[in-house]
Structure formats: C-alpha cells, structure tokens
C-alpha cells in the first residue's frame, strides 16, 4: 500500500511540474509565431488597390478582401475607395459613424493575411 501511495504522490508532482514548465514555455512559443507572421507596409498594401485585388489595413492588421467583395451587402463601389489603403475609419464608421457588427469583425478574421509593418 505504501508503494502505491508513494507512486501516486510522485506521479502527481511530476504532472504538476510538467504543467508548470509548459506554461512557462508557451508565451515564448506564441511570440515566435507572431514574429514569423507576414508583415506588410502600407506601400505593399497599396499595390492591391482594385476590386479584383483588394487589400486593406485595419487596426494594424492586413486583410485580403478580394474574394469577399461580391458577398458584401453594399455595392462594390462602396468598398473600392478603401482597397489598398488604411481602412480602419471605413470599418469603424461605415462612412456614417456606425461600427460594423461583432459578426462582421469575426468574419474579417478569415481574410486576414498578416500584420501591418511598423
């Protein structure tokens, strides 16, 4: 019985130690992924300024909305002026002071291609 209790005691502390070590390592792994992520300058974003090739920089992130243009509820002409540009104002105001819905922000994540370079 003593061997069993001792084995459980050792297994418990080995598990606790492993979890503590993994938690200490995880933030560094996330930082590595973020630094390896593609970064684009505004000049690079500006190269994608048509409805067929429409990138936008929004709040420090870069999105390729080329495949989404036809699905957007407004006519493409509304989005066209924002293609190839910093479009945070357009996303946050929709041109009349009203932010896009949480659902729209969530959908945008599917079109994210990287971050805006510093």
**Residue 20's pLDDT band (boundaries 50, 70, 90)?**
low
* pLDDT tens string 21-59: 656 655 554 545 555 789 999 999 999 999 999 999 999
pTM, two decimals, is 0.68
Paired tokens of 93? 């105001």
* pLDDT tens string 67-78: 999 999 989 999
- Answer for the pair 56, 62: CB distance below 8 angstroms, yes or no: yes
């Amino acid at each position: 019985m003593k061997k069993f209790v001792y084995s459980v005691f050792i297994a418990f502390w080995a598990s606790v130690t492993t979890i503590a070590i993994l938690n200490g390592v995880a933030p560094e792994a996330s930082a590595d992924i973020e630094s390896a992520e593609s970064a684009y300058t505004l000049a690079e974003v500006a190269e994608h300024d048509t409805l067929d090739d429409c990138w936008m920089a929004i709040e420090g992130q870069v999105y390729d909305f080329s495949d989404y243009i036809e699905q957007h509820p407004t006519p493409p002409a509304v989005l066209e002026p924002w293609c190839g540009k910093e479009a945070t104002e357009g996303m946050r105001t929709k041109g009349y002071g009203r932010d896009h819905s949480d659902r729209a922000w969530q959908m945008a994540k599917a079109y994210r291609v990287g971050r805006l370079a510093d």
